[in-house]
A and B are shown apart, each in its own frame.
Chain A
Amino acid sequence: MKPGRDHSAVALAAVPLLFLGAFYFYPLFEIFSVSLTSDGTWGLRNIVNVFSAGYYARVLWFTTWQAALSTLLTLVLALPAAYVFARYRFPGKSLIQSLSAIPFVLPSVVVAAAFSALLGPRGLVNEWLMAIRGLESPPIRLEHTITFILMAHVFYNFTVVLRIVGGFWSRIDPGLVQAAQVLGASPWQSFRKITLPLLRPGIMAASLLVFIFCFSSFGVILILGGPRFATIEVAVYRQAMHLFNLPMAAALSLLQICFMFVFMWVYTRLQRAASVELTPEAGRIVQRDVATVKDRLIVWGTVSFMLVLLAAPLLALAFRSLSTEGGLSLLYYRALFQNPSQSIFYIPPVSAIGYSVGYAAVALVMSLCIALPAALFLSRDRGRATSLLDPLFMLPLATSSVTLGFGYIIALDEPPLNLRTSLLIVPLAHTLVAYPFVVRSILPALRSIPAGLRESAVLLGAAPSQVWWKVTAPLIRMPLVVGAIFAFTVSLGEFGATIFLARPELPTMPLAIYRFLGRPGALNYGQAMAMSTILMIVTAAGFLLLERLRTGPGGEL
């Protein structure tokens, strides 16, 4: 390697490193120092306080058991679907599989709004029951119950189990189960002795992932759980923003950070073990047609169940945004454009859409600016620097956005970096959340470009800049577009960090929805529904576009 190249490598690595240093490690360090200092001296008093106060033990306990229960429920409900998608061929399968992933990419605020639209006190089901039975009050009271939270978590994470476990299942040779049966194993025995042990790595990986998501659940708990329930994330938010107890919030954040790092570390280990174990028998994928009556019952029963579970809340949301006291109308959508004197924002709510799009555009550009040098650096060689920096660049993935938002408000509101009043603080946080995905999107494409391609361009007389524009850039265009769309949608739906950072008069769409949901009155509720519907459609469209780009012709992922 020429010495000149080393300089450019350092320059490439410097961009993401400086960004991470200022906007990730510095806030994280501030959380450490706030939680570990009291009255100007270092010590563990705050941490000890967290564990000695009963409330916080209850928070940790609740966080853990609701996550465990959510995981178990998701697993039990999604396993049959994983089987059906792994073993059968049927019309509409790939479409249903794509659509079933939509809940997972929706902003948590939209999911909360959708469940409220279906089963909340103003929800469709309650309205119908009241109309049919002539009741005065809603008969189904799920708001602020654990059931509501669990349902939303299952809805959210169903596709995680479906995809991961389904993927494992489809790679298990059906001959193994048949061999077991000829050897005398009943269908149940062959499932327990053969299929289940072979699925175990997949089940473990999917379970841990779902557990991590539910453990750090914020929007769903905050909105659907009400004041009775708090995960660590929600407790951090309440301590910091309602009670202004920054040391306590910092101690809780630290706790959350430690848990998340441990979970992510275990997850990476699991994934590595799983990929090793799968190699010997990973081979042809055998799927059968829906032939017998039994097949039909299994397949269409599962698909209908999925549609009810996954589509009903979203359809209810869309329907609820259109149903007013005077029948179906666009009343709530029109109201988004008005600015009545009692408005909670003093501006037309529709401007939240403008702010969201603006923030998202800035976050998109910044994500590309950080991710591109990072990916270029990582694609150069697989030396020690790369294997050290690759996980470092991915570290923000293991940090919850609430922790991030909290870290920003305690770190970036005073010199040396005072961004409290800067418009950039929101897109900066979004960039930190989004850029690892962009790196992961570009990197495989960059690595798949054979070195000979660039070298032959150089031998043909191309200058380094020409090599980039004529060879490399065209080859990674599609992954770049995929990464950009991803960054944009992540930013649009981001809630946990934004709620700490956005200025009250410049709300994003998720914040506007959250505030609408917190106000009384049919008009506010209707506007929450209308804006959630808009956000849902934009996010779902972005996701489906991603799926097409990734799997369609020319996709390189």
Chain B
Amino acid sequence: MVFLEARNLSKSFGSQRVLHRVSFTLEQGNILCILGPSGSGKTTLLRIIAGLETPDDGSVLLRGRDLRHTPPHLRRFGMMFQEFALFPHLDVSGNIAFGLHMRKFSRAEAAKRTAEMLSLVGLEGFGARRIGELSGGERQRVALARSLAPYPVLLLLDEPLGSLDRALREKLLFDLREILRRIGMTTIFVTHDQAEAFAVSDTIAVMDRGGIVQMDTPENLYRNPASPEVARFLGLSNLIDGRVESASSVATALGSLIAPAQGLAAGERVTVLIRPDAARIIGEDEKPALGMSIIEGTVRDCLFRGKNYHIELKVQGGQTLVFEVPIEAGAPEIGRAVRLAVAPGSVFHSSR
């Protein structure tokens, strides 16, 4: 049986349409990530599932039961808010035990569960601290412990790492994933950061302008983005206009590129995505490996990134493309003309 189902959810604030007929399903124990730019409606979707907003249309079903008339305090969900929303007048234990007291756990049970949660998030001994004394990372852990304490059936995370600095985020992201996997929590995770989404989720739903544009596993999503917009949002920005030549090649300003264009009529206008990885600088007369295309351009910039060089390449037609090339070949000189062997990318119908 489907655990959670969203059916045709729509919501407007005044004249502004925030969600438009959004549907998806989620299996028990899975982690779904809702990924989208700010303003795409992802937080509103999460708040509707929590019961904090009422949809104008559509419904949320939990194990087939419509939640329309269930107020948030009876849904038994856990939620972590963007700014954590920790209660400033209670200490750490008071915050974690709050939901347990609300659900009528006995004093002893609540104390036991609170201690358990503190050790789960690695904050043993922090129970009596005031919220004002905690660092950002500690607050994040308290918020997670608080939302997990009353045995929620579903955990909702609204940009749980959004207000933390970069270095801390990576560490906490790892911890978060580890904790969620260990307890097998069914989770919906909202973020605008694709690295977070890839790191944590079983499934990613990409949202744009109030709708889900693609929903798939992280691998499939990265391999086959459904549109140039999704590709751009995933950080794949090498998009070039062209026309279909044959089932395996597209004519562009850079010349003919090998690309999977099966099922498209010759002459049709398309956009080709060239992946930044799997690119290699090749010599003047070197032939590319089978199935690889060749791109020529001038190196505009080159950054050393540890595992590879990040280069900006100005190509014919004036566009600037970015690539990651292996470091073994040495740093390409800025201003020099180079030849790159690149892997075939995806081909999208041009809507323009």
* A residues in contact (CB < 8 Å) with B: 173, 175-176, 178-187, 189-190, 193-194, 197-198, 277, 280-281, 289
Contact = CB atoms under 8 A, between A and B. Distances in A.
A44 to B, nearest CB: 45
Given A182-B52, A183-B150, A185-B73, 18 more contacts: A175-B83, A176-B87, A178-B52, A178-B72, A179-B79, A180-B102, A181-B73, A182-B72, A182-B73, A182-B77, A183-B99, A183-B102, A184-B150, A187-B73, A189-B73, A189-B102, A190-B73, A197-B89
A106 to B, nearest CB: 37
A438 to B, nearest CB: 37
B88 interface: yes
Interface in B145-172: 146-147, 150, 156
B147 to A, nearest CB: 8
B72 A181 contact: yes
- By Cβ-Cβ distance, the 6 closest A-B pairs, closest first, are A183-B99, A184-B102, A175-B85, A179-B85, A182-B79, A181-B72
Contacts of B102: 180, 183-185, 189
Contacts, number: 72
Among A184, A193, A198, A280, find the residue whose CB has the most chain B CB atoms closer than 10 A. Answer: A184
B76 interface: yes
Given A183-B99, A193-B98, A289-B14, A178 B89 contact: no
Nearest to A193: B98
B71 A181 contact: yes
Contacts of B63: none
Contacts of B87: 176, 179-180, 194
A181 B137 CA distance: 24
Contacts of A182: 50-52, 72-73, 75, 77-79, 147, 156
Which of B79, B99, B102, B132 has the most chain A CB within a 10 Å cutoff? B102
Contacts of A277: 88
Interface of B: 14, 50-52, 71-79, 81-83, 85, 87-89, 98-99, 102-103, 131-132, 146-147, 150, 156
A185 B51 CA distance: 13
Contacts of B150: 183-184
B313 to A, nearest CB: 43
B309 to A, nearest CB: 42
B146 A183 contact: yes
Contacts of A289: 14
Which of B71, B98, B99 has the most A CB atoms < 10 Å from its CB?
B98
B256 to A, nearest CB: 54
A179 B71 CA distance: 13
A178 B53 CA distance: 10
24 contacts: A173-B85, A175-B83, A175-B85, A176-B87, A179-B87, A179-B146, A180-B98, A180-B102, A181-B71, A181-B72, A182-B72, A182-B77, A182-B79, A183-B99, A184-B76, A184-B99, A185-B73, A186-B71, A186-B73, A189-B102, A190-B73, A280-B88, A281-B88, A289-B14
A557 B75 CA distance: 47
A176 B73 contact: no
B73 A184 contact: yes
A76 B268 CA distance: 72
Nearest to B97: A183
A111 B205 CA distance: 64
A198 B89 CA distance: 7
Given A186-B73, A198-B89, A280-B132, A178 B146 contact: no
Contacts of B77: 182
A185 B75 CA distance: 11
A185 B99 CA distance: 7
A281 B89 CA distance: 11
A155 B77 CA distance: 45
Given A178-B52, A178-B81, A280-B132, A183 B88 contact: no
A187 B82 CA distance: 21
Nearest to A190: B73
Nearest to A281: B88
A189 B87 CA distance: 14
A3 to B, nearest CB: 45
Contacts of A179: 79, 81, 85, 87, 146
A65 B209 CA distance: 61
A411 B56 CA distance: 74
Contacts of B74: 184
A175 B81 contact: yes
A157 B132 CA distance: 34
Nearest to B96: A183
B92 to A, nearest CB: 14
